[in-house]
Structure 1
Amino acid sequence: MKKIIIIAATLFLITEGYSQTTLSLQESKDLAIKNNVHIKNSALEMEMAQEVKKNAFTNYFPKVSATAFAMRAMDPIIKFNMPGGNLPVYDGNPANLATATEFAYFPGLNLQLLDRATVGLLNITQPIFVGGKISNGNKLAQLGVDVKEKQQQLSLNETLLKTEQQYWQIVVLQEKEKTIAQYEALLNDVSKQVKDAFKSGLIIKNDALKVQIKQSELRTNKSKLQSGKQLAIRQFCQTIGIVYDSALVLQEDLQNIQLPNTYYTDIEAALPNRAEYQLLQQSVKAEQLQTKMKRGDYMPQLAVGAAGYSFNSYYEGTNTTTNGLVYGTVSIPISDWWGGSHAIKEHKIKEQIAENTFNDTKGLLKLQMEKAWTDVNESYRQIIMMEETVKQTDENLKVMQTSYNSGVVTLSDLLEAQALQTETADKLIEAKTQYQLAISTYLQVTGTSREVKNMR
């Protein structure tokens, strides 16, 4: 039975090991790119812009329209009734008209037309010149595609940054679990020593209670940490588009810390690569094209066309009538020129506003990159200081442990040294995490990939 239990336990542990999901940072990014809803919607918006561009291109081709009309009236639309009778025969002399001696009999006329008819019309129009609105419209459509492409890149960058931030937040919780485990082991050792000393009558019960209180606090903090970790994992799974996995383990750790210079990018070189910078450039171009489009509204428009029609009234003795024609049109909006000049000036002002916004935002983007670089360096300095502090608390704990074993210091002093060592270890983990987050932000605002930088 004992062998069976051992085998069953071993199989359970193996199964648990294989069911555990482990993700690296790059794998998490790949999943986010594949599954994130914002990225999917951004791709669909890109497709929409492509369709708008294709639609604008069709304006270069002739416009063909066909119309068919059929009608049946309750009464004929045209009615004409002329009574019959003897009509004087006119010999050409007006004097004889009133005293005519010869007559011709007219039987009368009752005419009813258009109680039913069908009409077919085909029209083809080819614009020759419409003030450049077709060509500029196509340029605007292409600009719309470019803008959506940059917005798609922005959405991708934001999602990847969010993925990295959530990834490192879970990593820090994993690292804190290790710290808690170490602290728990220290408390268990102290608890064993205290229990032995209490049984031997070397210490009072109050010392044993102090250790129990610390263990109770540790259990509470451990429970809070586990709850926070599970919530963070849920949020992370939502971001990268996978089913929630409570056993998810992230592969990266905080051991290998690269120097800040590894990630440095020249600001002037990075600025043109920013999607925000490129979007501002496109906004200026869009205003310029809008001005040209508005100017086209007040320019002559020339078009040629051809039309054909077919008419059938369905009366006996009549045939279907068909005909065709070619034509040209010239439209000159003379009365609109006065008001149009002000509309064009309005668009020129909008161009200037877009230029001013572009120039101002360039400076803001540079400041953003400079601040991100400052944050990277400051975070790294925090790591250096905390590593030195951790060394000091480790050494302090060793001294306190030796002194307690020798009876030089009290149990409270030892417990305080253990708590201080755990606290500084946690702060070091947080400092390393902030450094990773600062790097992620810096790479995002400089348009650089972490993977490319790590290859240097």
Structure 2
Amino acid sequence: MKIRRCCTRPALLVLAVCVISGQSAESVDLSAEMAVEMAMKNNYSIKALEHQQKQAEYDIKSAKTGFLPSVNLSGSYSRTGLDFEIPAAFSAMMPPGMGLDQNSFNYAIQIQQPIFTGFALLNGLNSAKLSSAITEKSAETAKQKIRYAVLQVYWGIVSLQKSASVTSEAIKQLEELTSNQEARMEQGMSTEHDYLLTKASLAQARMNELKVNKSVSSMKRQFAILLGLPATTEINLIDTSAEGNVLPDVNLDSAVSSALSERPDLNETRLKMNLTELGIKSAKSAFYPSLVAAFSYSNESPELDEKERWRYSWRASAALSFNLLDWGNRNFKLKKAKEQQLALKEVLQEKTATVEKEVLDAYHEVEQLQSETEAAELLMEAREKAYNASLAKYEEGVIPMYELLDAHNSLISAKYAALQTATSLKLAIINMDMGGLGSSSSFGAQ
């Protein structure tokens, strides 16, 4: 019994260590840059895109096999009963062994090599390569959008956490006011109405705190999923300052030109244009003849009279085929391919104009938010001074309680607005650096 106790205690200690280690493993400290790197490695959508890229690579390898000869092996076996008699006259007309061999089997091997297919194989290979490049650009677009989404959620959480701090500060101020009002009311220096006003404001502030904390928890769960982590992972943010954003020196014409040449979603559409050109070539290949060379060798079961002798044969051939009449089917397919190219040309023009618009919008949004941030900071300072002045006047009995509470609410609202504009400016600068891709409503041209 003593031995059992001695064994149990170390086991419990090991279990406790494992539990503590498991709990610590659920917490992670991240900067904005670290969060982006983690998302690029672990995000579920990015992993799915990597598998799609591998699929495209296999399509290229599959298209290359069309240039190589194909080898087919076939065989058969049959067993025939001999419990019947064949008339002598009919038996004499049959080839030796036919109908008399109870076991019959044969095998054959055939090799085919395409010589000319109207460039269909070459167009198929080029099409697979272009499709792979399109998949790569699509993945690049998705990664950029996920990067922006990660930063958007990251700085959104930072803003909400600071809003929670503002709310906590407001609760402390209102708790102090409520206590003072209760004491003044007991001394007959204040009315019950003023006390109820401050108490209602305190209850509203506490409700706001619950809402903000709930939003922070929800966004952190969303953030964890975006990073490819379990939703219950506790994430601690290292970067906690979105203020001090300065617009870098940007030449607007250069920014537009750079976006038009480098935006992956626009390059994806250009590659799709090239793919439609290959579609036209593939449709034209149906107008050419096709030539295939073949070689076959077959071997059958031995003859009945000579068991050691097998019947074998070989054949070399070349087959040329050309479709003389298909009732316009080839023409219809060719016209369809040309219409697809024209349709995508219109899409490309629209996409080009949209990218230019998004760059200009991103640039002007940064300018606007810079002004709004400066104005929000000035307003917050003014509201803070106004609240302090109102508090002094209230203590002197110059103004009623509701005016003091109005000044307090205005101060809290100004602090919220300053946090929001600072975060919006941070994201707008990031979007500007991405050529407006972060605010793009489309996920690549279809």
Q: Equivalences for 1:412-431 in 2 at 5 Å?
A: 412-431=402-421
> Which residue pairs with 2:334 in the alignment?
344
1:209 equivalent among 181, 193, 196:
196
Aligned to 2:110: 123
Residues 234-313 of structure 1 mapped to structure 2, 5 A cutoff: 234-245=221-232, 247-261=234-248, 266-313=255-302
Indicate the SS of the match to 1:248. Answer: strand
Contact 2:245 2:426 in 1 (8 A): no
**Structure 1 residue 360: Cα displacement:** 2.6
Output one character per residue of 1:250-298: Cα deviation in whole Å (capped at 9) or x when no partner: 2333453322345776111211211221111111111111111121122
Normalised by the size of structure 1, how large is the TM-score? 0.81
The residue identity in structure 1 corresponding to 2:289 is: P
1:54 deviates by 0.6
**Which position in structure 1 is the counterpart of 2:324?**
334
Counterpart Cα distance in 2 of 1:383 and 1:125 = 73
Matched letter for residue 134 of structure 1? L
Number of residue equivalences: 409
**Secondary structure of 1:409 counterpart:** coil
| C-alpha deviation, 1:23, in angstroms | 1.9
How far apart are 1:83 and its partner, in Å? 9.5
CA contact (8 A) 2:242 2:423 kept: no
TM superposition shift of 1:18: 11
TM-score (norm 2): 0.83
Match of 1:315 in 2: 304
State whether residues 254 and 429 of structure 1, in contact with CA within 8 Å, keep that contact through their aligned partners in structure 2.
Answer: no
Shift of 1:385: 1.8
Which residue, 388, 393, 399 being the options, matches 1:398?
A: 388
Consecutive unaligned residues of structure 2, counting only runs of 5 or more, are 1-22, 439-446
Based on CA coordinates, which of the two structures has the bigger radius of gyration? Answer: 1
The one-letter amino acid paired with 1:51 is: Y
Q: Is the 8 A contact 2:67 2:121 kept in 1?
A: yes
One-letter code aligned to 2:356: K
Q: Tell me, in whole angstroms, the C-alpha distance in 1 between the residues paired with 2:258 and 2:196.
A: 63
1:5-84 alignment, distance < 5 Å? 21-74=28-81, 81-82=88-89
Q: Please give the per-residue CA displacement for 1:90-134, whole angstroms capped at 9, x wherever unaligned.
A: xxxxxxxxxxxxxxxxxxx99844543221111111111111111
Give 1:171's match in structure 2, choosing from 136, 141, 158.
158
Deviation larger for 316-325 or 43-52: 316-325
The aligned counterpart of 1:185 is 172
- SS of aligned partner of 2:287: coil
Partner SS for 1:252: coil
Distance 2:287 2:84 in 1: 43
8 Å Cα contact 2:224-2:233 kept in structure 1: no
Q: 1:207 is paired with a residue of what secondary structure? A: helix
For the residues of structure 2 that align with 1:287 and 1:434, how far apart are their CA atoms?
Answer: 41
User: Which residue does 1:93 correspond to in 2?
Assistant: none
8 Å CA contact 2:78–2:104 kept in 1: the answer is yes
How far did residue 376 of structure 1 move? 2.5
Contact 1:69 1:118 in 2 (8 A): yes
| 8 Å Cα contact 1:310-1:323 kept in structure 2 | yes
> Identity of counterpart residues, as a percentage?
18
CA RMSD of aligned residues (A): 3.0
Give the one of 285, 293, 315 matched to 1:325: 315
| Contact in 2 for aligned 1:254/1:432 (Cα 8 Å) | no
Contact 2:224 2:235 (8 Å CA) reproduced: no
The 1-side partners of 2:335 and 2:417 are apart by: 60
Q: Does 1:367 align with 2:357?
A: yes
The secondary structure found in structure 2 opposite 1:203 is coil
For residue 117 of structure 1, give the secondary structure of its aligned residue in structure 2.
strand
Q: Which residue of 2 aligns with 1:139?
A: 126
Distance in 2 between residues matched to 1:160 and 1:225, nearest whole Å = 25
The aligned residue for residue 144 of structure 2 is: 157
